[in-house]
Amino acid sequence: MKWTIIALGAALSGAAYAQEIDLFAMADTSRDERIAQAEFADFREMGWDYFFSGQDSVDPSHAPEAKGLLAGVGPDSAGKVTHAAFTAAAPALFKQADKNGDGMLNRAEFEAVMPPPGG
């Protein structure tokens, strides 16, 4: 798990050596070539753990490397994104990403919201 989180963080932050990391494959823990809502939620939590391990809230303006991960999560009155709000946003973000409405994300749907590094 630790190395998965490190690789994920590298990929999400666009590190040069992460160009070949397949985020879809990382998120697809059941290896069925589609992302269930629970897999999507787990993947997001891994991202939070990588960037903000142990933090209850973050200031998005101080975390440009995690911009994609925090997209779609509204900040609180202090301008911070809380972990609770981040987690709570997952079902709605999943639904938005599920363009064909089949309850799963295929590769194209997933990569539209979690673009591969450099892609």
Of residues 89, 99, 80, 76, the one with CA closest to residue 44: 89
Q: Is residue 28 part of the contact set for Ca ion (CB under 5 A)?
A: no
Any contact of residue 98 with Ca ion (CB under 5 A)? yes
Q: What share of residues in the chain are helix, strand, coil (percent, to 5)?
A: 55, 5, 40
Closest CB 91 distance from Ca ion, rounded Å = 14
Q: Name which position in 4, 55, 96, 100 contacts Ca ion (CB under 5 A).
A: 100
Separation of alpha carbons 44 and 38, rounded Å: 10
Among 22, 33, 76, 102, binds Ca ion (CB under 5 A): 102
Residues near Ca ion (CB under 5 A) are 98, 100, 102, 109
